[in-house]
């Protein structure tokens, strides 16, 4: 028999609107209804979350590791459990474990680890985001040039076949990939994001036409917007459909740049943490410097949680709380194509709900 749980709080944000004096009815892992409190039968036990906001849980589609275990260095279940715990603590119920430009062997091991994690009923890891290796060395950032490849159709197909159902997203430089490569990736239902790219405006727009639907960490490691050369930044801002992730930590881009991008892109801009973890093992060794990570003196990842990213949007980027919530939940769900079950509190959606205290000091997952 299904277990019915009923939650109330000071406010509920459904992903679309604010509700007062309402309750969320959940049956096991599904939202059954959102109804006025007065309509709830008196014999049903209500869990009152007090002076909090109930909202859709966050989704982080680019995070590399947690708890001292970078996933590409330790591609195993322990790393994924630590990653999920870190995400949950920051209000994210779902994430894409991410591996940066690396050897094929590492990517295959990451795929195996996620398969095993799912078999053991591990939660919260939606799949794998491969960032690279088909990127432009000119815009490699902290990625190691020795692993950057020009994609070969048969090699790409072999990886996609092995990772079928596991690989959910690939970041690549569209100018480094023939249209046939992008076409092939699209047939596997994988989200293609342009990043670590020196694409011209025309090359970027051709990528969007071929099936690139997103851009990875806007401004960082890509051709900038210039008045005679719009580059990838200008191309995605000028597009009507392509979305872009951004890292609101004040290091990867100035908060003013976040505000500008938001004004231009509106609902097409969403948040990632790009978070790494301290490690002195493997080819990517990250050192915590203040509130960011560096590798050999180069900015290599953030120390963000999704909750801190959400707070930064409000406190430093002048973004209203409802829109900041959508940038951390509904919009990432749209990128992944799961907006029919994540990113809203609505009948039939997954019961992934967070509670944020009314003063925005803490967050916790209800389920």
Residues with catalytic roles: 274
Longest dimension (CA), the chain: 68
Strand 22-27 to strand 4-8: parallel, antiparallel, or no bridges (unpaired)? antiparallel
Is residue 304 within 8 A of residue 247, CB to CB? The reply is: yes
Peptide bond before residue 133 is cis, with ω within 30 degrees of 0: yes
DSSP state of 147: G
Q: Which residue in the block uniquely carries the two structure tokens 């109930």?
A: 54
* Rounded Cα distance, 160 and 167, in Å: 7
* Rounded Cα distance, 308 and 310, in Å: 5
* Rounded Cα distance, 93 and 201, in Å: 36
Nearest to 11 by CA among 347, 339, 327, 325: 325
Q: Three-state SS for 46?
A: strand
Nearest to 260 by CA among 194, 200, 319: 319
Nearest to 55 by CA among 21, 12, 26: 12
* Rounded Cα distance, 284 and 66, in Å: 14
Q: Which ranges in the chain belong to alpha helices (H)?
A: 77-89, 104-119, 153-162, 179-187, 201-210, 231-238, 255-265, 306-317, 321-328, 330-336
> Which residues, in sequence order, are CB contacts of 178 under 8 Å at separation 6+?
151, 153
Q: CA distances (Å), 39 to each of 51, 103, 211, 350, in order?
A: 21, 58, 47, 22
CA 271 from chain center: how many Å? Answer: 7
């Amino acid at each position: 028999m299904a277990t019915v749980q009923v939650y109330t709080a000071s406010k509920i944000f459904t992903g679309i609107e604010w509700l007062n004096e309402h309750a969320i009815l959940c049956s096991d892992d599904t939202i059954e209804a959102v109804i006025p409190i007065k309509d709830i039968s008196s014999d049903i036990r209500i869990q009152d979350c007090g002076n909090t906001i109930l909202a859709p849980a966050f989704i982080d589609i680019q995070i590399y590791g947690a708890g001292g275990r970078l996933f590409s260095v330790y591609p195993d279940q322990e790393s994924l459990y630590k990653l999920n715990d870190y995400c949950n603590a920051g209000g994210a119920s779902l994430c894409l474990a991410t591996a940066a430009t690396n050897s094929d062997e590492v990517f295959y091991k990451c795929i195996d680890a996620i398969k095993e994690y799912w078999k053991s009923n591990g939660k919260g890891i939606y799949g794998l985001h491969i960032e690279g290796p088909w990127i432009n060395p000119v815009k490699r950032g902290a990625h190691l040039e020795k692993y950057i490849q020009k994609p070969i159709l048969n090699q790409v197909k072999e990886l996609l076949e092995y990772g079928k159902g596991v690989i959910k997203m690939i970041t690549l430089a569209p100018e480094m990939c023939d249209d046939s490569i992008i076409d092939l990736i699209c047939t596997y239902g994988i989200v293609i994001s342009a990043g670590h790219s020196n694409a011209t405006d025309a090359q970027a727009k051709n990528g969007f036409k071929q099936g690139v639907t997103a851009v990875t960490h806007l401004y960082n490691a890509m051709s900038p917007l210039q008045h005679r050369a719009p580059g990838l930044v200008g191309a995605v801002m000028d597009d009507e459909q392509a979305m872009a992730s951004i890292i609101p930590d004040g290091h990867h881009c100035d908060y003013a740049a976040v505000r500008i991008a938001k004004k231009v892109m509106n609902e097409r801009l969403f948040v990632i943490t790009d978070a790494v973890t301290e490690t002195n093992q493997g080819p990517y060794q990250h050192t915590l410097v203040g509130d960011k990570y560096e590798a050999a003196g180069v900015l290599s990842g953030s120390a963000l949680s999704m909750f801190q990213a959400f707070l930064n949007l409000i406190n430093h980027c002048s973004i209203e709380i409802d829109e900041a919530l959508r940038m951390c939940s509904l919009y990432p769900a749209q990128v992944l194509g799961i907006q029919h079950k994540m990113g809203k509190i609505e009948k039939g959606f997954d019961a992934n709900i967070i509670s944020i205290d009314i003063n925005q000091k803490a967050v916790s997952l209800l389920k």
